[in-house]
Amino acid sequence: MPEHDVDPGRSAFDDLGPDSPETLEWRRVHPITPLVRGWAVVGAAVVILGQQSLEGGPRGGLLALVSSEYWWTLLAALAAVALVGWGYSALAWRMTTFAVGAETVHLRRGILFRQQRHARLDRLQSVDIRQPLVARFFGLCELTLETAGGTDSGVAIGFLKGADADELRAELLARAAGLKVGGTRQVADAAQAPSDAVIDGAVPEGTEQVAAAQDAGQSVQPVRAASLEAPQVPVLTVPLGRLIASVVRSGAMITLLLWALGVVVVMIVTGEFAVISASLPAVLGAGGYLFNRLTGEFDFRVAISPDGVRLRHGMLETRSQTIPPGRVQAVRLVQSLLWRDRDWWRVQVNVAGYGGESEEKNSVLLPVGTREEALTVLSLVLPDLGVDEPRRVLDAGLDGDSRAESAYVTAPRRTRILDPVAWRRNGFTVTGRALLLRRGRVVKVLDVVPHERTQSLAVSQGPWQRRLGVASFQVHSTEGPVHPEVPHLEASDAALLMTEQARRARTARAAAGPERWMERQGE
C-alpha cells in the first residue's frame, strides 16, 4: 500500500475528505441529559439496596431498617450512589459531541476510552426517535440512526429537545435522499426558479441550479432544516381493543394460563404452597413479555411520507420510526390459529441495522390488522409486485393450500410423511419484483423478498429428504425476525429456483435506483 505522511498532531479520523472534523460544527446534546440518564443508576441502586436489606438486614427487613436508628445510612448510601451516577453522566455528557457532515454523521463519546463513530447517510436504513418515560417529563428525545452494518451499527444521539430532534431527523433524511442542506443549503425563489429547481425546499446534490438562479438575478435565500420536514399522510391506526384482544389470543397468553392452571392443580394435589414461588420466575417472564407487547405496540400508527414509512407507537416509551424507501430487506405476514376467525395478520420486516435487543420493538410494521390493512402496509414498502393480478397472488399465498393453484410451485404429495399437516401449503412463486414463500397451517406464514434485497441463497437436504428426493430452500436476509424459507420442495425445483433467483437478484441490483433516492438518474 502507498504510504502517506500523517501529521502527528492529527488523528486518523481527521482525514475524512469533505467531512473532516476541522470543517464540521460540533454540537452537544441537551444539558439535562445527565439527569435523565442518571435515574437508571439510582433506580438500580434502590432495587439492589432493597434486596440486600430484605435478605441480610435486621429482623423485619427493610421496614425495620428504615425505622431503626441507622435509617440515615440507607439514605446516605442512596445519595452517594446518586451523586456518583449523576457525576459520571455529567462527565460523559461533557465528553459527548456530534456533528452532521455532507455525507456522514459523527459522534464522539467516552471518558477513559474515546470513541468516534460515523454513520454514512447513503447507507441510512431508518431514523428513530425514542422518548423514554423520564425523558418525556423534560420534553427530550433520543435520535437513533440505523445503518446497513448489522447489529450495533447505529448512532444514538441523545438527548435533544423534541423540536430539535424533529429538525435533525428532517435534515438527515434530506441529506440521505441526496439533497444539499445545512450550511451550504440554498433555495431559489420559487416564483422565478425553474420548476425542477426546488424539491421540498431543497436542491439535489450539486449547486448548478443555484448558480443558474444567481446568474439570472434571482434571489437565493437560506432555508431552515425544519422546512425540509416532509408532510405525512396517515394510513391506519391499530385500535386499542383489537390490540388487547390480539394479546389475549396469543400463544404466550394461552401458555401462561395453562401454566397457572397446572400450578394450581399441583398445589391442590400436593398441598405444597412452595410450588408457587418455584414457578414465579416463569410467570413473571411470560407476564413481562405480554406487558411489553401491550405497552410497546400501544397506539400504533402508520403513515406515509416522501421520506419513507413512518411508525409511531408506545405507552411508557414512545418511538417514532422512519424507514426510508427501499430499505426493507424482507417482509413477513403471519397469522396464528387463534386469529383465524378474525382474519387478523401481523406484519414484520427485516431492516439492515436492526437486530439484537431492538429486533422485537423495531421490526414490527403492523402488530395486528385485518387482511386489507396488512396488504396496505405491504404495499407501502413494496408498491409493485411486478404481476398483473397482485391480489390473487397474495391471497393464494395467505390462504392457498392446493397444488392445483398454478401461481405457486408446491411440495410434492410424498412429503406428507415429513409434514402431514402443512405439506399442501409449502410452496413459492416468483413475480417481476419479488420472491414469495409460503408455509405453515397452524401458523400461516408468507415471506416476501424483493429480488434486489436477496443476500444469499441455500438449499439443504437431510437424510429423509434425500430418500424422498426433496430439499428445503432458504433465502438469507439481514438479521431480523423474517427468515424466508420453504421446506420439502422437489429437489429439481429447489435447484432451479436457486439458480434463477441468483440471476434475478443480480439483474435487479444492477437496475436498482441510487442509494440517495431523490437524486435523478444520469446526474
187 three-class SS: strand
The span from the CA of 82 to the CA of 434, in Å, is 54
- DSSP output for 432-456: SSEEEEEE-SSSEEEEEEEGGG--E
Q: Is position 265 within any domain? A: yes
Last residue of a domain, one of 250, 274, 296: 296
**Ramachandran area for residue 163 (φ above 0: left; ψ -120 to 50: alpha; else beta):** alpha
Judge if 505 and 390 occupy the same domain.
Answer: yes
Q: Are 456 and 474 in contact (CB under 8 A)?
A: no
Q: Is position 449 within any domain? A: yes
Looking at this protein, which amino acid is placed at residue 95?
M
Q: Which of 327, 367, 331 is nearest to 349 (CA)?
A: 331
Residue 335: predicted pLDDT: 96
Residue 440: predicted pLDDT: 92
Residue 242: predicted pLDDT: 96
Last residue of a domain, one of 296, 311, 339: 296
Judge if 334 and 282 occupy the same domain.
Answer: no
Judge if 467 and 411 occupy the same domain.
Answer: yes
Judge if 344 and 419 occupy the same domain.
Answer: yes
Q: Is position 425 within any domain? A: yes
What total number of domains does the chain contain? Answer: 2
Q: Is position 429 within any domain? A: yes
- Containing structural domain, residue 505: 326-511
Q: Are 290 and 247 in contact (CB under 8 A)?
A: yes
Q: Is position 379 within any domain? A: yes
Residue ranges of the chain with per-residue pLDDT less than 50: 1-15, 54, 56-60, 183-210, 212-214, 218-226, 357, 404, 520-523
Judge if 338 and 480 occupy the same domain.
Answer: yes
Judge if 243 and 282 occupy the same domain.
Answer: yes
The gap from C-alpha 450 to its chain's centroid, in whole angstroms, comes to 18
Judge if 269 and 341 occupy the same domain.
Answer: no
The span from the CA of 326 to the CA of 309, in Å, is 10
Q: Is position 280 within any domain? A: yes
Judge if 413 and 501 occupy the same domain.
Answer: yes
Judge if 488 and 343 occupy the same domain.
Answer: yes
Judge if 406 and 265 occupy the same domain.
Answer: no
Residue 180: predicted pLDDT: 66
Judge if 290 and 368 occupy the same domain.
Answer: no
- Which helix or strand (DSSP H or E) is residue 509 part of? helix 491-511
Q: pTM of the entire structure? A: 0.78
Judge if 252 and 376 occupy the same domain.
Answer: no
Q: Which of 132, 129, 159, 131 is nearest to 32 (CA)?
A: 159
